[in-house]
Copies of this chain bind each other. A is one copy, B any other.
């Protein structure tokens, strides 16, 4: 019995996420539903993609993930289903799904099966009208072929860090609930460039000369750099919010300068 996870900007105070669940349970009773978050900032495709990208592999293979952050409301883009690493993703073709799979979808179809559309819901509420019935159809054993024809996934990317003049330049791509700022710099990339050189990290007014192994390697409320979730570099504070106290925001630049001539 596949799991259906839900990620959206529909909020917890309004009833919209519950309507989506009702539609799924009406079509596929006994579905196991798990909220990833409904508190994605309105229309924030990048945040939705980040949290699904770092959640889906915790679920069993074959799980279905609805990603309903949908500013264009079915005008400019179609609803699609993506298959990636043995998981299924249902959402708008606005880039959110290509961010999740780094453009490496194993398959992508456009939802055209008219039997899937729940006519009672307005076009602006595609999560209930299209995404929920499509997820229920997949959970019941429906195939991508039945859902619709292959289509190209609208391509949106995270942006890679750049390296020049001994400086690795990346950016913050997510700020979590604790105020930790997660960057697009991976441990692998960092180690490859670092070799045996010392380095210095610059972000806003902060300079850091080491990457710690645990938060408790520094004093409370001290800033630190750590490889966190999925081994991405994270700027944090011990038991405090780095985002708040350092004024960090998504898209802020981070620079790592490597000292000496290891690479030259």
Interface residues in chain A, defined as those with a beta carbon under 8 Å from any beta carbon in chain B: 1, 3, 5, 7, 9-16, 18-23, 25-26, 29-30, 32-40, 42-43, 51-52, 54-60, 63, 71-76, 121-125, 128, 176-178, 213-216, 226-229, 239
Contacts and interface: CB of A to CB of B under 8 A. Distances in A.
B18 A5 contact: yes
Interface residue SS majority, chain A: loop
Contacts of A25: 3, 32, 34, 59-60
19 contacts: A3-B22, A7-B15, A10-B177, A12-B38, A13-B39, A14-B37, A14-B176, A14-B177, A15-B36, A16-B176, A18-B58, A19-B58, A20-B58, A25-B59, A26-B59, A26-B60, A29-B60, A73-B214, A124-B228
Contact of A52 (B5, B15, B54, B74): B15
Nearest to A241: B42
A14 B73 CA distance: 24
Given A11-B178, A23-B58, A43-B239, 20 more contacts: A5-B22, A7-B15, A11-B176, A11-B177, A12-B37, A12-B38, A16-B176, A18-B35, A19-B54, A19-B58, A25-B59, A26-B60, A58-B128, A75-B214, A76-B216, A122-B227, A122-B228, A123-B213, A124-B214, A124-B226
